[in-house]
Amino acid sequence: MNLILTRRPSGKKRNSFAPASLTLMAMLMLAAGCGANPNDTANAQNVNGGGIVDSSSGVSPDSAGKPVAQATPIPDKPATSTSKPATQSQKQQGTGIFNGLADGHSAEIKTDTDTIVFQASTEQIERMNKFEFGDPVSFSYIVKVINSETEGKIKQPWIVEIKKES
């Protein structure tokens, strides 16, 4: 490492560590500020209100180790009487190719016209767990129209019955 050399009044050269030390400290502080923070999940929990004890529930924060009451979800907005309930169509029939389960409550089926993700009940999902990718299926379904404040009307196809074709 080439340190900055300065001359003394007597003419001798002397090494100056101050600029090198300052540069090293600046780099260390920069690296410390840019590193991954292992407390990100803890901070996210605090932002979401995790760990907050409501004093009206009769549970004090110093009752550590004792079970607390079950959390009851509270809706953000009370249901208004002007909101319309979801409407549904008549039962329709369809055939297609089973492409698999999209998640824990929906399945993807390729029909003659399009590939559609159908919502399904737990019972239907359990039945479709036995299907293989590419199995021909016949099914009956309904289309529920849900009024959303943010996206208007949303159409959700729901499988009512499904069976594997031979």
Q: 3-30 pLDDT, tens per residue?
A: 556 666 676 666 667 777 788 888 888 7
| pLDDT greater than 70 at residue 47 | no
Can you tell me the distance from the alpha carbon of 111 to that of 143, in angstroms, rounded to the nearest whole number? 15
Can you tell me the distance from the alpha carbon of 114 to that of 99, in angstroms, rounded to the nearest whole number? 12
The answer to whether domain 87-164 has CATH 1.20.1740.10 is no
Nearest to 143 by CA among 117, 162, 125: 117
Q: What is the mean pLDDT of the chain?
A: 74
Can you tell me the distance from the alpha carbon of 15 to that of 37, in angstroms, rounded to the nearest whole number? 38
Residue ranges of the chain that CATH labels 2.40.50.140: 87-164
Torsion 122-127-133-134 (CA) sign:
negative
pLDDT band at 63 (very low <50, low <70, confident <90, very high): very low
Can you tell me the distance from the alpha carbon of 123 to that of 142, in angstroms, rounded to the nearest whole number? 16
pLDDT digits (tens, 9 = 90+) for 98-123: 999 988 899 999 999 999 999 999 99
Higher pLDDT, 156 or 87: 156
pLDDT value at residue 138: 95
- Which residues neighbour 138 within 8 Å (Cβ) at sequence distance 6 or greater? 93, 94, 95, 162, 163, 165
Q: How many C-beta atoms surround the C-beta of residue 110 within 10 A? A: 14
| pLDDT greater than 60 at residue 83 | no
